[in-house]
Amino acid sequence: MKKIKQSWAEPYKIKMVELLKMTTADQRKKAMKDAGYNTFLLRSEDVYIDLLTDSGTSAMSDRQWAGMMLGDEAYAGSSNFYQLEEVVREVYGYKYLVPTHQGRGAENILSKILIKKGDIVPGNMYFTTTRLHQELAGGKFEDVIIDEAHDPENEFPFKGNIDLDKLKRLIKKHGAKKIPYVSMATSVNMAGGQPISMKNLKELRALTKKHGIKVIHDMTRVAENAYFIQQKEKGYEGRSIRSIVKEICSYTDGATMSAKKDALVNIGGFLAVNDWDVFEEARNMVVVYEGLHTYGGLAGRDMEAMAIGIRESVSDEHIKARIGQVIYLGEKMIEYDVPIVRPIGGHGIFVDAKKFLPHIPQDHFPAQTLAAEMYLDSGVRTMERGVVSAGRKTNGENYYPKLELVRFTIPRRVYTQAHMDVIAESAARVYERRNKIKGLKMVYEPKYLRFFQARFEKL
């Protein structure tokens, strides 16, 4: 008899469905051209399976929807704020909470408070909005992620780790006073959703403590990081996701959060800190940029849904199925020889466009091209994470990242295993005709975060 597999399954059943629209090849050709070969500029009604992002695209639970009805829409002192504050303390352990409309709102406030002109901000790989806020505040981002993270084929299980020798060299060169904090992300997005290990975090805490440097945690996908620690790190096998998440947070001084990912809401974020002085300044500043300190740009109902979503996000069953689905898609892609970033990360499959389209130089945007080709093939919308996303340095020169990737991002609790099959088959079809694919040229480039609105033409 065939060996019996032990499958995972979704820890929920479906109560309501949203119908999808199918398109013809001709319709997609027109839509892609009209969108300037930028998947961000497509209308969502022209998309079949939307893997643009896992941000704000998750399906809320019946409990979260019920929570929306408990919205206390008072301008000041909404009961939903106090509920959220309690949940953030209980689940993450941070003392003080400032809600924001989404992650970048928190990044803006935090960067303005902690960074002075000329400061250095080391981090485990850049994220687009995070680095831009650090630069706008006068800082310079320095990448201190381990070298393995820049190699799509390296199978090291914790490619989100910080290279402590690189960090020590930066401290030696600039002095600790020039480094306000280390920007540490869990589940490093641009590296392919790669986790940081608890061991590395503990060592980071010890080193930064010695020099009086803070650690600020981009905790957007902390629960997904916790899953990899539970599965792969010695000593954490039997530990709950909840307890691992809390331990991660305990080695940091504060956090910015885009609740649109892990926390299963369509909008929302926050800044959470342990230091009263930073909190006081953030509370002053939030009223300028976001809204009063007890709503920060959110409706009461959004804060309620977030509080419930945070509790659901740290359930072992939820995370196992969430990442199980991502791994299922990745393994299908590997079966078809599609080159993807290994190991498979937490929130999506990252296809290596340099390897997929080796005949297209980086100046002709291989990842942008491949994302457009995926849409043309099947109506599956993916996203470029390469030279377009990396943008330009403050001196105007292009960044040329080693990683030139297309992200197939999986929204949480939205698509089924059958959708994953359709996606992998489409990627395989595009791979089969890869030699016929030509690159793109950029014909419009916005000043900030160009990947959102840039336009291209076919070469």
Residue environment code for 106-140, b if the CB has 16+ CB neighbours within 10 A, otherwise e: bbbbbbbbbbeeebbbbbbbbbbbbbbbbbebebb
**Which CB atom, from 176 or from 299, has the smaller least distance to ligand PLI?**
299
**Which CB atom, from 220 or from 325, has the smaller least distance to ligand PLI?**
220
Candidate list 261, 320, 332, 407, residue with the active-site label: 261
Note if 75 is an active site residue.
yes
Note if 158 is an active site residue.
no
At its nearest, how many Å lie between ligand PLI and the CB of residue 48?
19
Nearest by Cα to 321 from 413, 216, 191 = 413
Candidate list 126, 251, 451, 456, residue with the active-site label: 451
Candidate list 57, 128, 294, 382, residue with the active-site label: 128
Note if 218 is an active site residue.
yes
**Which CB atom, from 104 or from 318, has the smaller least distance to ligand PLI?**
104
Report the residue closest to ligand PLI, judged by CB: 103
Q: How many whole angstroms separate alpha carbon 247 and alpha carbon 241? A: 10
**Which CB atom, from 152 or from 269, has the smaller least distance to ligand PLI?**
269
Note if 452 is an active site residue.
no
The pair of three-digit structure tokens given for residue 456, joined into one six-digit string: 């291209």
Nearest by Cα to 100 from 289, 300, 307, 305 = 289
At its nearest, how many Å lie between ligand PLI and the CB of residue 218?
5
Judge contact between 160 and 187, C-beta under 8 A. Answer: yes
Candidate list 218, 262, 302, 352, residue with the active-site label: 218
At its nearest, how many Å lie between ligand PLI and the CB of residue 159?
15
Q: What's the chain's Rg over C-alpha atoms? A: 21
Nearest by Cα to 304 from 74, 110, 92 = 74
- Cα dihedral 135, 299, 275, 281, rounded to 10, equals 60
Note if 128 is an active site residue.
yes
Provide DSSP, 203-219: HHHHHHHHHT-EEEEE-
At its nearest, how many Å lie between ligand PLI and the CB of residue 343?
18
Note if 127 is an active site residue.
yes
Helix-, strand-, coil-residue percentages of the chain, each rounded to 5: 45, 15, 40
Q: Give me the residues that bind ligand PLI (CB under 6 A), please.
A: 53, 55, 102-104, 127, 129-130, 185, 189, 218, 220, 258, 260, 269
At its nearest, how many Å lie between ligand PLI and the CB of residue 172?
28
Query: Which ranges of 212-267 would DSSP assign to H, the alpha helix?
Result: 222-232, 241-250
**Which CB atom, from 189 or from 360, has the smaller least distance to ligand PLI?**
189
At its nearest, how many Å lie between ligand PLI and the CB of residue 410?
12
**Which CB atom, from 53 or from 200, has the smaller least distance to ligand PLI?**
53
Note if 356 is an active site residue.
no
Provide DSSP, 78-119: -HHHHHHHHHHHHHT--SEEEEESSHHHHHHHHHHHH--TT-
Candidate list 37, 48, 127, 270, residue with the active-site label: 127
**Which CB atom, from 106 or from 319, has the smaller least distance to ligand PLI?**
106
Strand partners, 257: 270
The pair of three-digit structure tokens given for residue 453, joined into one six-digit string: 């609105």
At its nearest, how many Å lie between ligand PLI and the CB of residue 432?
28
- Residue 128, amino acid: T
Catalytic positions, written as ranges: 75, 127-128, 218, 261, 385, 451
